[in-house]
């Protein structure tokens, strides 16, 4: 794999799901390190963009790296699964969603290995990067056949925060686990090229590290959101309470601001842990009820004072997180849906996400009686709110 050594493989690294939010930045960083990298995916639209040097989504710092690695021939894009036969390290960065009943959808993820099987060889290293339901690596082995020693299967979960992978991949310690010592050594060798520190664990430990981390974050958001609801019911400004709680007081310093806790990972991974613990992870369920209930709480509060059928409401910020363009599982949409159900005229606007039904920020501010901040994009720090408009700003981002 070294930049100089000869290998039978045309690629050092092949990333399956290579054009996704995890696969693409990871592939770019390996290519930047000089490894010949192939991004394999099924999305021809994203493939077309990436081949032309255009990032298909916001990932800070990625655009110039993409241009460079295309120019120096370190990066290739493929829509053909056969490309897995050409790489030494095969990284799986596919989505691992839950279904409408909040159960992990493991079948689709595992079925990819049925398709990959005929292209895989035992001298390759298979690295699972997706966040998986515990025991998934054992299931992969079952599908591939043979004993643990006959394959080199590693689990190295991704821990970046979306939008900032380029920076964080080179800063965060990397969890490395594997089904054999050889798999661990190989994966550690690969990630040692980009990560400042390797932390070795068993596969079971690594599976829990990832699920516990996301559940922990999700629960922290639920705590602050529940505090927000209690404060509002009490007629008290939660942001002032939080400020007073945390100022110069280390023990509460990590209390996040209130706000929608959404996106494709936190709820999903908390629910994976709920399912794994036979529905006994009561804190996980409670966090889901609080976080997913926040839009309903806001609407109920508004209904106490306004006839929503006569009210125009603008939601500023439709992505699931600030300063990115990803709308996956954003609670702004849930909020809009409930408001419309109660008869409100609802406008949507966003700084990054594009949709022909959205209106400009200026039009939204002018046309709405009530403005709700859906996500704290930095641009909202300097919003000029026209006189007489009511603003609901959980994050406290808009200057009063």
Residues that bind ligand NAD (CB under 6 A): 16-17, 19-23, 40-43, 93-96, 112, 130-131, 158, 160, 162, 264-265
Convert 93-107 to b/e letters by CB count within 10 Å (16 or more is b). bbbbebeeebebebe
**Cα–Cα distance for residue pair 371/126, rounded to 1 Å:** 49
Residue placing its CB nearer to ligand NAD in the complex, 43 or 325: 43
Give the integer Cα–Cα distance in Å for 90 and 317: 37
Shortest reach from residue 96's CB to ligand NAD, in Å: 4
- By the 8 A CB rule, do 196 and 173 touch? yes
Distance of alpha carbon 380 from the chain centroid: 22
Angle CA(132)–CA(136)–CA(141) in degrees, nearest 5? 140
Q: Which residue is nearest to ligand NAD (CB)?
A: 20
CB of 214 or CB of 368, closer to ligand NAD: 214
Q: How far is the CB of 245 from ligand NAD (least distance, A)?
A: 29
CB nearer to ligand NAD: pick between 113 and 238: 113
In angstroms, give the least distance from the CB of 162 to ligand NAD: 3
Please count the other Cβ atoms lying within 10 Å of the Cβ belonging to residue 71. Answer: 10
CB of 153: closest distance to ligand NAD in angstroms? Answer: 16
The residue count for the chain: 400
SS3 316: strand
What's the closest the beta carbon of residue 136 comes to ligand NAD, in angstroms? 10
Q: Judge whether 57 and 21 are in contact, CB under 8 Å.
A: yes
CA distance 323 to 353: 10
User: 308, 377, 299, 302: which is closest to 338 by C-alpha?
Assistant: 299
Residue 155 C-beta: closest distance to ligand NAD, Å: 12
Q: What b/e readout covers 292-301, taking b as 16+ CB neighbours within 10 angstroms?
A: bebbebbbee
> For residues 158 and 186, which CB has a smaller minimum distance to ligand NAD in the complex?
158
- Burial bucket for residue 164 (CB in 10 Å: 0-12, 13-18, 19+): middle
For ligand NAD, the closer of residues 59 and 393 by Cβ is 59
* Nearest by Cα to 263 from 321, 335, 350: 321
Toward ligand NAD, which CB reaches closer, 23 or 87? 23
Minimal distance in Å, beta carbon 164 to ligand NAD?
A: 9
Distance from C-alpha of 28 to C-alpha of 184, rounded to nearest angstrom: 22
Distance of closest approach, residue 102 Cβ to ligand NAD, in angstroms? 15
Could you give the C-alpha distances from 337 to 57, 68, 126, 316, in angstroms and in order? 25, 43, 42, 14
Minimum distance from CB of 172 to ligand NAD (Å)? 11
| CB of 48 or CB of 386, closer to ligand NAD | 48
Our CB check for ligand NAD shows the closer of 38 and 372 to be 38
**Which CB atom, from 265 or from 331, has the smaller least distance to ligand NAD?**
265
Which of these, 162, 164, 157, 269, lies nearest to 217 by C-alpha position?
269
Structure token pair of residue 369? 């009686």
Considering the complex, state which of residue 44 and residue 149 has its C-beta at the smaller distance from ligand NAD. Answer: 44
Q: Least distance (Å) from ligand NAD to the CB of residue 146?
A: 23
């Amino acid at each position: 794999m070294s930049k100089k050594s000869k290998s039978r493989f045309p690629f050092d690294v092949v990333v399956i799901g290579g054009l996704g939010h995890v696969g693409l930045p990871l592939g770019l960083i390996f290519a930047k390190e000089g490894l010949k990298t192939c991004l394999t995916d099924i999305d021809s639209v994203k493939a077309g963009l990436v081949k032309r040097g255009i990032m298909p989504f916001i990932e800070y710092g990625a655009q110039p790296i993409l241009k460079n690695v295309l120019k120096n021939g370190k990066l290739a894009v493929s829509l053909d699964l056969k490309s897995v036969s050409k790489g030494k390290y095969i990284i799986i960065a596919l989505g691992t969603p839950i279904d409408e009943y909040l159960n992990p959808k493991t079948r689709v993820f595992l079925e990819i290995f049925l398709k990959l099987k005929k292209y895989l060889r035992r001298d390759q290293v298979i690295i699972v990067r997706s966040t998986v339901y515990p025991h998934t690596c054992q299931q992969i082995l079952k599908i591939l056949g043979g004993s643990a020693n006959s394959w080199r299967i590693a689990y190295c979960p991704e821990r970046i925060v979306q939008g900032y992978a380029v920076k964080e991949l080179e800063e965060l310690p990397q969890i490395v686990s594997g089904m054999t010592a050889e798999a661990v050594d190989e994966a550690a060798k690969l990630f040692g090229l980009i990560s400042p520190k390797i932390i070795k664990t068993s596969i079971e430990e690594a599976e829990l590290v990832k699920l516990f981390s996301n559940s922990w974050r999700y629960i922290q958001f639920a705590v602050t959101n529940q505090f927000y609801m209690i404060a509002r019911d009490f007629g008290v400004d939660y942001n002032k309470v939080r400020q007073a709680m945390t100022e110069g007081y280390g023990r509460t310093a990590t209390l996040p601001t209130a706000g929608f806790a959404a996106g494709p990972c936190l709820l999903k991974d908390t629910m994976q842990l709920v399912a794994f613990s036979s529905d006994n992870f009561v804190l996980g369920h409670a966090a889901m009820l609080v976080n997913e209930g926040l839009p309903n709480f806001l609407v109920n509060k508004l209904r106490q004072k306004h006839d929503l059928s006569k009210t125009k409401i603008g939601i500023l910020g439709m992505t699931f997180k600030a300063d990115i363009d990803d709308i996956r599982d954003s609670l702004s949409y849930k909020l809009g849906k409930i408001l419309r159900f109660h008869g409100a005229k609802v406008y949507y606007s966003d700084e990054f996400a594009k949709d022909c039904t959205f209106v400009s920020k200026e039009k939204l501010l002018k046309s709405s009686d009530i403005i709700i901040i859906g996500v704290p994009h930095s641009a909202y720090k300097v919003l000029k709110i026209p006189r007489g408009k009511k603003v609901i700003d959980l994050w406290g981002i808009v200057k009063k």
